[in-house]
Structure 1
Amino acid sequence: MLYMVHMLVDIPATLPKGEADRLKADEKAYAQRLQREGKWRHLWRIAGQYANYSVFDVASNDDLHETLTALPLYPYMTISVTPLAQHPSAIAAN
């Protein structure tokens, strides 16, 4: 199942820099692992924002929920999810 996910990150200024840096490094490692596994198919930065649009390919709604809530920066994110379906006019297969 494909999902487009918008993630907006808002790390509080009160979080110590060392802790924020550790969370960002953990987030990067987790995101890259998910990309290598094929679960996180696309990752696009939104210019000028600490945000992204991503496409996830997971087995179920529950799988997506577990994947997103395991993100190290999850407590500091506002997330919206849009389920995707193949468009009948698309020339590329899913």
Structure 2
Amino acid sequence: MLFQVRMDVHLPVDLPAEQGNQIKAVEKAYSQDLQRQGKWRHIWRITGQYSNISIFDVESNEELHNILQGLPLYPYMKIEVMALNRHPSSIREDDR
């Protein structure tokens, strides 16, 4: 199942820099592992914002939910999820 996920990060202004940097380092390792597994297919920054648009390829809604809740930055995120389905007019048979 393919999902488009928008993640907007809102770190507290009073979060100590060292703690923020540690959370970001763990988040990077977690997301890169999911990318290597093929579950986090694409990630793009949104220019001028601490936000991204990502494409996930997972087995179920529950798997995506668990992945997102596992993000170290999850407590500081606003997340929007959109399920994606192949369009009947698409000339492609895969997701390249």
Runs of 4+ in structure 1 displaced over 6 angstroms? none
- Return the alpha-carbon distance in structure 1 between the equivalents of residues 68 and 8 of structure 2: 13
- Unpaired stretches in structure 1, ≥5 consecutive residues: none
Amino acid at match of 2:47: A
Q: CA deviation at 1:4?
A: 0.2
Aligned residue pairs total: 94
- Return the alpha-carbon distance in structure 2 between the equivalents of residues 47 and 87 of structure 1: 28
Measured on the aligned residues, the alpha-carbon RMSD in Å equals 0.7
TM-score by length of 2: 0.95
**Deviation readout 1:26-46 (Å, 9 max, x if unpaired):** 111011000000000010100
**Deviation readout 1:17-71 (Å, 9 max, x if unpaired):** 1000000001110110000000000101000000000000011010000000000
- Return the alpha-carbon distance in structure 1 between the equivalents of residues 29 and 12 of structure 2: 21
TM-score by length of 1: 0.97
